Chains A and B, each alone.
Chain A
Amino acid sequence: MQKNAKIRSLHNLVFSGYLIPLGLGLLILFIPSFVSAQTPTVPLINSTLRGTVIDGRTKTTLPGAIVQLQGTTHKAFTDSEGEFNFVTGQKFPYTIIVSYIGYKTKEVVVDGSPVEVSLEESINQLGEIIVVGYGTQERKNLVGSITKVNPAETKDIPTGSFDSQLQGKVPGVQISSNTGVPGETVNIRVRGATSINADNDPLYVVDGVFINTNSLQTISTGGKASSPIADINPADIESVEVLKDANATALYGSRGANGVILITTKRGNYNQKSKISFNASQGWSKAEKLWELTTGPEHATLVNEWWVNTGNPASTVPFRPVSAGGRGRPSEQQTYDRLGQVFQTAGMQNYDLSLSGGTATTKYYIAAGYNDQESILKPITFNRGSFKVNLDQKINEKIQVGVSNTFARTGRNQARAGDGPAGGLLQAALHTPTYLSPVNELGIPVGRAGFDNVDLLLKYYDVHSTSLRYIGSLYAQANLLPNLVFRSTVGVDYNNYDESEYWNTFLISGSPNGLATSSVGQSTSLLNEQTLNYRKTLGRHGFGVLVGNTLQADISEGTSSTGRGFANNSFKQISSAAVTTGSQSWNKATLVSFFSRIDYNFSGKYLLEASLRADASSRFGSNNRWGYFPSVGGAWRIKGENFLKDVAFISDLKLKGSYGVTGNQNGIGSFASLGLWSGGSSYQDSPGIAPQQLANPDLKWERTNQYNAGVDISLFNERLNLEFNAYHKQTVNGLLRLTLPATTGFASYMSNAAEISNKGFEFNINSVNIRKSHFTWSTSLNISRNVNNIDKLETPLKYGSRDLILQQQGSPLYSFWVYNELYVDPQTGNSVYQDYNNDGRITVDDRRINGSIWPKFFGGLTNNLTYKGFDVSVFLAFQSGNKIYNHNRFFGEGGGARDAARIIFASNNARWQKPGDITNIPKPDGININNYRDGGSRWLEDGSFLKLRSLNIGYTLPKSLTHKVRIENVRLFVVGTNLFTITNYTGLDPESAASSSQNEQGIDLGTPPQPRGIQFGVNVVL
């Protein structure tokens, strides 16, 4: 009685709503007192059953299968030979239930020993477990739109981080800006982009920890930055779930508007014998092609032509005989190749070792990994050593505790691949005119055209960074009542990022006497979370209630010091510099949240879910600190209705719909709502303070309202599965750095002023085409479309070099703003522009939006085939209808007007030369006038492509062979990456239009392409 009283009073407490918050974890301390020990029963032996469990299709044995006696908890496991031995008090005949992960569970009536049980592999789409916000669900019961990805399919693509490997795998998710530099940030957009000044990146949650995804890099590499996601070893990931609609994401409230990516790392299994898995691979990669440049004589010819065309006398052309004071005739010019110097065949290697398993009460996963890659652009390298420990312990039947730990050290040799003259490696190689010698008349290496000397850069590049990362969580879970689970989690994501650069006196940045920078950044995300989960089935009614709260804090800080003036190039420490300066930064933002979800289903046919999250953020003014994010969703499993029950070819049919609200606050400053004066405006080495930003106490969340409607169809015994979703996202109160008239003394202030919408659909089809004992073939295809539009924006905003990007009401985000070129006049050789206002002049009024970075559709196609021991996977990614501004070509087709300052592309040779010439390249004239106008549409290109992203071929040695040496499994494999690309884009790679700056997408300048690669490897399981 006393125990019941205790439970009842606890019950009352819980349901009177008291126990949502923090600290409930401590209650666990009290639990053991009301948990009674189970009394063991003494077995009575009446029969012994021996048997083997095999795969019905391939006839191979299945070790680790579970054999259970019906109606009891008594079970046994098959050994490494697939055999089991069952001793029971029951008498023959009785029913055993045999189950194995990935196979259909089978009930067999046995009347004697031994038996052979053959299991049929289950496609079991419907029963697949999907991780959702704060829980899991079977696929058939999903109301929201969630895509699960198995990272095993993509983890060998050599990009460094798992997120870039997902490209083309998830419907509705666009991943762009991959480059040839491993471990760089990529842009992930889940169902479009919702914001101009707040982040558009999804939220990443690793084993319940909300991780930092902002690069801590402070040293400029001319555009992009190192990705914090690259600290995670893809081999440790069990599954990736991408949450897309409001029903799935609303539980993440203020952080859910851009979608949520849930990463679940590998864990052991209870009652699993130890398994050691070793994976090793080695490979090489190379640029598919490089830019084609003019030779020295061609360059000189074009420059001379420009000289004459701009009204200068032919007698003074720059390339005239040296005796006449010129640089020599065009035919006398040399050609120097710099691209060949900086691009290389890059090597890579990867090793992963893991140990996993479990006893009845403990399960573990311990792993170590090492990845080392060179970029195809010298001298860039990336390496990551990682270490993973996941443990779970059942303290008793009701209480379980566990930890997840990820440690990683990521080291990089960096180089400036992107924009900017000083230290710009790719630009120095690509943009220095080919006729210019790398040495001066004394034979001393010199940089030309404003760039560094390539030989000196390659010799003296000295930029390094090291990221130390710990992502960990500790949880305790208690089954307070049979249907009531309490869970408390403490998580931390800590990142220490240490970078240093040294520029010696031979390089521009280090001239005249050396420059060194050392910088240490730290980012800490702390999380504390409590949830209570109640689930109950009463007859045909099933329902669940979840309540929870979280406290989060994100702290980032950085210290940087710079030294100038070194005695000579042997001194590199800042302490030995003549002049040193330092700086420091600190930021903190906190979030307090409460959330709840209720779900109900009636006989598995009608599913309803509703959730609400309330978030309070320190970033906003006290007027608008709290935000509320509700969602509601429902599904109708029509298959459950009587009229479909007997339609055999339909395995499942489900309609679903949802509506909800999510928020966004990431990406704005921690103190964005405050009016601030800041220091740092010093004069005469004494401090000065100045207005920094204007207050906006009304600043509040960006809100995204999202509707989703979808249908899931499963046919032919689950062999053909289709999913279709259509959505409409409307973002209001969009966070915008609103341009202020300069007369205020400020450039802008943060406000809620933009509205953006995304509409689209996603289509996904998975099919098992052939399924024979030695041959299988399955296909999956996804196609998505997203239509982005800026619904409200008072003043257009321009971004990017030469204002190439215009954000304007009525057009999509990242639209290109160009002068439309119609044709090259065959008579004059001049480019003819569209004169929209018919005023006879081409002015800024004639500059219009022409296309955007958004494709009409995009997706991926994967085919998997197996034949006996062989397996083949072919993965194609594609997109169509997006534009890219080929900014390299803009410079490279300058027609000679940039003379000795820039390269000329070989394509410029096809320019107009005499009346009657039909060409699309006008005659050479000045810069940013007439034919070579900044923002001309001639360099705006179609970015559609079809790419063979990966081709994976494996061979698994026969078990009969490997088992002899007590090896479970040996697989040899070869992976080809980016083996071909079909595109009309004239740049190197339609996917590398990259910039770390959110609003400057789609401009291809100074980006090494993704390489074509091949890797060989072996996977051994003991």
Chain B
Amino acid sequence: MKTLKYISAFLILVVFASCEGILEVEPRSSISDQQTIVDKGSAETAIRAVYEASRGYYGTSFQSIAYLSGDNVQWTGSQSQVQEFINHKVNPENSTIGGVWNGIYSAVNRANHIIAKVPALTDPLLTGALKNQITGEAYFIRALAYFDLARTWGGAPIITKPTLAATDNRGVAKSTQAQVYAQALADLDLAEPLLPLSTDRYRATRKTVWALKSRFYLYQKDWAKAEEFADKVIADVANYELLAPYNSFFFPESKRGTKESVFEFYYSSNETNGHRGQWQPQSNGGTRQWAPNDAFVALVNNPAIGGTRSALVAKDNQNRWFGNLYYRSPATDPTYVIRIAELYLIRAEARAQQGGAKLAAARADLDAVRNRSALEATPALTQADILLAIENERRFEFAFEAHRWFDLVRTGRAAAVLNVTDPNRLLMPIPIDQIQADKALVQNPGY
């Protein structure tokens, strides 16, 4: 009987010992949040995820807010939330604005982790220069995020610390639009000295900061500074160039990271961009959820207006026009955030606004962009005409990029061009889910 007792005692031990073992299951595709940004390797992987988050909201949703709310695109699908942008009647329940809002703050949180942790790392392999670069890139992405928040929603909560527990970073009231813009500028100012003066079209460098600053000052109507920073980038002729004809920066499929590009998001067959699906017709595997409208098709195909930019549209097997800027298969079309053409047009506008002697230089910048699309020099002579010509040039130059709506809003022309007479409609509503989830958030007026 002793044997039996020993056996049972042994079994009991096995069972209780194994219980605890059985209950410890560790994930295989994730790691605990205690051990994330600790050395050179982890800092480098974490900064990539910051870009990935920014790319996440830029890929389709954020850009679509800007061009759908303009006057170039019509809706052909079934999701009426798309139509809301075209009709300028966006509801707080709109899923696109909800997604972009979440996406922006996700990028902010990832950037905040870098900003909070990387400067304090002591890994000897992580050089000071690399540490600065990674931190500067995080500041740049955060600046872009706050810039996008300010121009889309106006006021928004400003978050500068990483979220470590579910109680962090909630209940934060909105700052004003001016404060959010100021945060974007502060981040750009911090990023500028940290980043190297190199050229990288997929990641932020000091020149990328200049380009965004130029746009920032344009929005702020600080024409001199807008011109100054545009100058700095355009001056680097070795690295940035208006490619002709127009489609040289996106066609054929091998074209990406061209000299046209100041900053674009990177995609590959492993990191695909679903944007094409919204544009391409079914015969190219898309849904053609939206398409260039008849008026735009007529204008862009007019050799005196669109020039070689007619490459932006094409016809499918049912004689329907579709937008063809995002067309690659696998879906690797870049997201163009800043192109050199924009800096020319920013400088043109900044110069035109300053008027007087700068009008000629403004026309020269405008013509640089027109020339590469095989268009003749602009006939505009007066300041007002030149500004209008720039506005129209931007309409076609950036037809399917994130510009048209923001341009008309910042110049106060949305009422005249788009017939948006209610000034409250110039800002998007705060997503309804956010209003409900955080009592500190107040809806924008008019919604």
Contact = CB atoms under 8 A, between A and B. Distances in A.
A740 B171 CA distance: 10
A901 B437 contact: no
Contacts, number: 280
A32 interface: no
Interface centre among B84, B202, B282 (most CB of A within 10 A): B282
A508 B27 contact: no
Nearest to B36: A677
B49 A688 contact: yes
Interface in B1-59: 1, 4-5, 7-9, 11-12, 14-16, 18-19, 22-25, 27-34, 36, 42, 44-49, 51-53, 55
17 contacts: A446-B317, A450-B76, A450-B288, A564-B269, A590-B25, A671-B30, A677-B36, A682-B52, A683-B55, A683-B266, A685-B270, A686-B45, A689-B31, A691-B33, A741-B434, A742-B101, A744-B163
B287 interface: yes
A736 to B, nearest CB: 12
Contact of A23 (B14, B19, B285, B436): B14
Given A23-B14, A744-B163, A564 B329 contact: yes
B444 interface: no
B254 interface: no
8 closest residue pairs by CB, A with B: A745-B109, A511-B285, A688-B48, A23-B11, A688-B49, A681-B49, A690-B49, A928-B80
Interface string B296-327: 00000000000000000000011100000000
A590 B170 CA distance: 34
Contact of B80 (A585, A844, A934): A934
Contacts of B271: 682-683, 685
A687 B47 CA distance: 10
A644 interface: no
B282 A451 contact: yes
Interface of A: 5-6, 9-10, 13, 18-19, 21-24, 26-27, 30, 421-422, 440-441, 444, 446-448, 450-452, 508-513, 515, 549, 551, 553, 564-565, 579, 581, 584-586, 588-590, 592, 616-618, 625, 670-671, 674-692, 694-696, 738-747, 749, 751, 795-796, 798, 802-803, 844, 891, 898, 901-902, 926-929, 934
Contact of A739 (B28, B159, B437): B437
B433 interface: yes
Contact of A684 (B18, B46, B266): B266
B19 A616 contact: yes
Contact of A844 (B36, B92, B162): B92
A98 to B, nearest CB: 45
B441 interface: yes
A513 B329 contact: yes
Nearest to B106: A745
Contact of B7 (A26, A691, A927): A26
Contact of A685 (B34, B84, B268): B268
A891 B283 contact: no
B438 A741 contact: yes
Contacts of A902: 78
Nearest to A445: B317
A678 B25 contact: no
Nearest to A427: B78
Contact of A510 (B53, B89, B285, B317): B285
Contacts of B163: 691, 694, 744-746
B282 A694 contact: no
A743 B330 contact: no
B52 A743 contact: no
A592 B77 contact: no
Contacts of A927: 80, 83
Interface centre among B15, B44, B169, B431 (most CB of A within 10 A): B15
B90 to A, nearest CB: 11
Interface residues of B, number: 97
Contacts of B25: 588-590, 618, 670-671
Contact of A440 (B104, B112, B317): B317
A795 B436 contact: yes
A586 B28 contact: yes
Contacts of B87: 926, 929
B61 interface: no
Contacts of A510: 285
Contacts of B92: 844
B8 A695 contact: no
B76 A681 contact: no
A743 B172 contact: yes
Contact of A551 (B22, B44, B77, B437): B22
Contacts of B169: 741, 743-745
A6 B36 contact: no
A675 B32 contact: yes
B102 interface: yes
Interface in B132-187: 157, 159, 162-163, 165-166, 168-172
Contacts of A844: 91-93, 432
A927 to B, nearest CB: 5
Nearest to B171: A741
Nearest to A749: B166
Contacts of A616: 19, 23
A798 B93 CA distance: 10
Nearest to A582: B270
A682 B285 CA distance: 25
B273 to A, nearest CB: 13
A695 B288 CA distance: 41
B284 A512 contact: yes
Interface string B411-447: 0000000000000000000011110111001000000
A681 B266 CA distance: 13
A18 B4 CA distance: 12
A677 B109 contact: no
A579 B266 contact: no
A803 B98 CA distance: 13
A688 B141 CA distance: 15
B78 A586 contact: no
Contacts of A451: 282
A676 B30 contact: yes
A744 B168 contact: yes
Contacts of A579: 269, 330
A928 B84 contact: yes
Given A844-B91, A927-B83, A24 B166 contact: no
Contacts of A671: 25, 27, 30
A377 B31 CA distance: 45
A211 B436 CA distance: 40
Interface centre among A512, A689, A929 (most CB of B within 10 A): A689
B110 interface: yes
A803 B93 contact: yes
